[in-house]
Amino acid sequence: MTIENQNDLVGLMRIGKIVAQTIQHMIDSIEPGMTTKELDDIGAAFLTKHGARSAPILAYKFPGYTCISINDEAAHGIPGDKVIQPGDLVNVDVSAELDGYWADSGRSMQVPPHDPEKQRMIAASKEALEIAIEYARGGNRIFEIGKAVEAFASKKGYSVIRELGGHGVGRHIHEKPSVPHHYNRRANQRLVPGTVLTLEPFLTTGAKHIYTEDDGWTLRTTDGSLVVQHEHTVVITEDRPIIVTAL
């Protein structure tokens, strides 16, 4: 999507705020012993209260209102009877639609007690997203984002998942262009102000690739590596992008 007028920006920011608040509400509600279905129910109720519709259900008939991925699950974890354990890395990914506008965001956290290495990984994930944001400026080529993120991850001792990256969003959950978060010289399109994108580096403790579980949805690292992700929907400008899914 490209922002064409003020109404577009207002509509996008409205759903972006709801998505951000839903994630915060879900993360605040996480407790050891609860199931991912119970956590998803909390997110579903919050979205419904604010008049928003789950994007995964609306677009793909996903079997859950939100995606909840744990430890070596990279993305698209189906809410179910899996019990959240102390020390787990939990990623909450919420995308939703309101009045024809779509926004997408995600955040990883660790269930207490905190492990220093996992906390370091989460901090690196946040910083990787900030680096992506800094390079997501009008006139820059898309591959500059991935090049910077991959260099940072490598310096910190982490890998970037190749198959997962950012994407266009706004009028649907997945639009063009794709935004790799590793260096891919073919991603040489220049960013145009007004373009709406997600930025979402996936950092792992080793794996660069994923596979799809038998459930047809859950994406897991090929070697059991832990994975974390932080994601925002942004609007490209000539300077720092507008963060649509900020709290």
3-state secondary structure 97-162: EECCEEEEEEEEEECCCCCHHHHHHHHHHHHHHHHHHHHCCCCCEHHHHHHHHHHHHHHHCCEECC
Q: Round to whole Å and give the CA distance between 239 and 111.
A: 36
Q: Is the pTM of this model over 0.85?
A: yes
pLDDT of residue 101: 98
Q: 36-45 pLDDT, tens per residue?
A: 999 999 999 9
Given this model, what pLDDT does residue 66 score?
98
Which positions ≥6 away from 57 have C-beta within 8 Å?
Answer: 64, 65
* pLDDT value, residue 144: 98
pLDDT of residue 241: 98
pLDDT tens figures, 151-210: 999 999 999 999 999 999 999 999 999 999 999 999 999 999 999 999 999 999 999 999
How high is the pLDDT of residue 155? Answer: 98
> What's residue 105's pLDDT?
98
What is the distance, to the nearest Å, from the Cα of residue 58 to the centroid of all Cα atoms in its chain?
18
pLDDT of residue 68: 98
User: Residue holding tokens 């950092």?
Assistant: 203
CA angle 125, 131, 133 (to 5 degrees): 105
